[in-house]
Amino acid sequence: MSKKELIEGVDPNRWRTLFVVAISQLMVVLDSSIVNIAIPSAKVDLHISDANQQWVITAYTLAFGSLLLLGGRIGDFVGRKKVFLIGLVGFAGASALGGIASTQHLLFAARALQGVFGALLAPAALAIISVTFTIPKERAKAFGVIGAISGGGAAIGLILGGTLTEYFSWRWCLGVNVPIALLAFVLATKFVHESKAAGDRSYDIPGVITATAGLFSLTYGFNQAATKGWSNSRTTTFFVAAAVLLIAFIIIESKVANPLMPLRVVKERNRGGSYLGSLVVGAGLFSMFLFLGLYLQVILGYSPLKSGFAFLPFTAGIIVFAGIASQLLPKFGPKPLMVPGLVAAGFGLLFLSRITPETSYVTHVLPALLVMSSGMALVFIPLTSTSLHAVSNHDTGVASAMVNTSQQIGGSLGTALLNTVAATATATYATAHSSLGKMTQPFAMTHGFTVAFKFSAALLFVGAIVLFFFINIGKDSLVESEGVVAH
């Protein structure tokens, strides 16, 4: 340790710590995109129905999103390094279990387990960086690295997923996490220092139970609607249970001393609007990757690798326009970027709804991806800033976690809902157009996808309306968002 580091109390292993955290971050980001490419192959191998295919994504996002806030609290109370190591080992084990899954239900369970350990891993990783880098300029660089991984990792995941699925097996899309997690574990034991939060260390267990059970009931209700119909007694039972549990959650959060989600954080209009907007964006956007991946591979006959490359323009557009957004934000403020951005992304999804089994990628898919990515890039950075508007230091961690939580929960609910919409539209079209013969199925599936894209577009337009009415801060009121990363 140098004399300067000793005086300033700077961790001499801080850059090595960043490397370790970056590895874990890359693994989590890879996992969110790599599996999308593997779904068509996994469906065939494990006989997964169209109605159940959404659980490959939803099982992970639901567990991850609903437990993120709790995961952050556990890391603060038990020790961030300890929880980070547990998260790495658990994530590796869950990935290995998914890689050898012999049934669809075992795969879904493994994906849920990945979400559980990811909810421990992700907040602990960000907290470790926050306490390790004490010099503001260095901390900004560290979180810049994590932000770049969050943006570029998705592209790597799509290419890697396509390569592994095409030349080896879809199972390696999960198995590849094992060596990455074990490498990070070995390095973390040596370079990462332990840290804990001071103060009240009580857990809001009733809040965790009602929130998780309520969200699961709502998601499962959508799944039941896809297989048994919206008016089925089992479907309505799950919807009623979801409403009761989520209302109970809000009541609990207003009464307990140390709530999982302090209502003061979401009551401020700009923060509350940001979380609601993030929820709607997650619902509208996540399912796009599922349905477009199926269209490219099942309908157009793309190989997994070619399908991965087909998504690259979306990622490239996000990276390029995110740079533009970061320059425009201080000049114009958040609302003039976010509202037009969501409208543009919504029109991109409407362009995508024009696809048929006979249209080409270049004329119908590529333009839509470019429009969507340019629009969404104008949303992500300002949304992170507004989510921290006027928040106290005590609530900064919860406020930043709420962005990820609302995106993940929105993604899981949106995927469940839109998968139900697509499955219903597919079945209706196939019945009405049986005269098409062997072409009935591809046209029916594509029709289901296009209906889902229209619903997704509607969700993004709703998000634009929400942000238009809720966000009222200008460019001079933006808070410093250093240390917060949206996934």
Do residues 237 and 369 both lie within one domain?
A: no
User: Are 272 and 470 within 8 A, CB to CB?
Assistant: yes
The count of domains in the chain is: 3
Do residues 134 and 234 both lie within one domain?
A: no
Do residues 412 and 443 both lie within one domain?
A: yes
- Pick the last residue of a domain from 198, 223, 239: 198
Do residues 226 and 324 both lie within one domain?
A: no
User: Are 308 and 161 within 8 A, CB to CB?
Assistant: yes
User: Which residues are CB-neighbours of 439 under 8 A, at least 6 positions away?
Assistant: 357
For residue 111, give the CATH number of its domain. 1.20.1250.20
- Pick the last residue of a domain from 155, 176, 198: 198
Specify the pLDDT at position 294: 84
Closest CA to 390 of 266, 218, 290: 266
User: Are 19 and 126 within 8 A, CB to CB?
Assistant: no
Do residues 277 and 364 both lie within one domain?
A: yes
Do residues 123 and 242 both lie within one domain?
A: no
Measured between alpha carbons, how far is 58 from 448 in angstroms, rounded to an integer?
19
Do residues 44 and 65 both lie within one domain?
A: yes
Do residues 281 and 253 both lie within one domain?
A: no
Do residues 55 and 193 both lie within one domain?
A: yes
User: Which residues are CB-neighbours of 88 under 8 A, at least 6 positions away?
Assistant: 24, 121, 181, 182, 184, 185, 188
Do residues 25 and 89 both lie within one domain?
A: yes
Domain for residue 67, yes or no? yes
Domain for residue 1, yes or no? no
3-state SS of the chain?
CCHHHHHHCCCCCHHHHHHHHHHHHHHHHHHHHHHHHHHHHHHHHHCCCCCCCCHHHHHHHHHHHHHHHHHHHHHHHHCHHHHHHHHHHHHHHHHHHHHCCCCHHHHHHHHHHHHHHHHHHHHHHHHHHHHHCCCHHHHHHHHHHHHHHHHHHHHHHHHHHHHHHHHCCCCHHHHCHHHHHHHHHHHHHHHCCCCCCCCCCCCCHHHHHHHHHHHHHHHHHHHHHHHHCCCCHHHHHHHHHHHHHHHHHHHHHHHCCCCCCCHHHHHCHHHHHHHHHHHHHHHHHHHHHHHHHHHHHHHCCCCHHHHHHHCHHHHHHHHHHHHHHHHHHHHHCCHHHHHHHHHHHHHHHHHHCCCCCCCCHHHHHHHHHHHHHHHHHHHHHHHHHHCCCCCCHHHHHHHHHHHHHHHHHHHHHHHHHHHHHHHHHHHHHHHHCHHHHHHHHHHHHHHHHHHHHHHHHHHHHHHHHHHHHHCCCCHHHCCCCCCCCCC
Specify the pLDDT at position 141: 67
Specify the pLDDT at position 215: 78
Domain for residue 7, yes or no? no
Burial class (CB in 10 A: 0-12, 13-18, 19+), 44: exposed
Specify the pLDDT at position 453: 93
> The domain containing residue 210 runs over which residues?
204-257
Do residues 110 and 225 both lie within one domain?
A: no
Measured between alpha carbons, how far is 269 from 451 in angstroms, rounded to an integer?
33
Specify the pLDDT at position 6: 39
Burial class (CB in 10 A: 0-12, 13-18, 19+), 236: middle
pLDDT means over runs of 10, the chain (487 residues): 48 77 80 76 82 78 76 78 89 91 90 89 77 67 65 71 82 87 86 69 78 80 74 87 91 83 81 87 81 87 84 82 78 87 93 90 92 85 73 63 75 79 87 79 90 93 91 64 42
Do residues 56 and 189 both lie within one domain?
A: yes
- Token reading at 17: 């710590």
Domain for residue 5, yes or no? no
- Pick the last residue of a domain from 198, 218, 241: 198
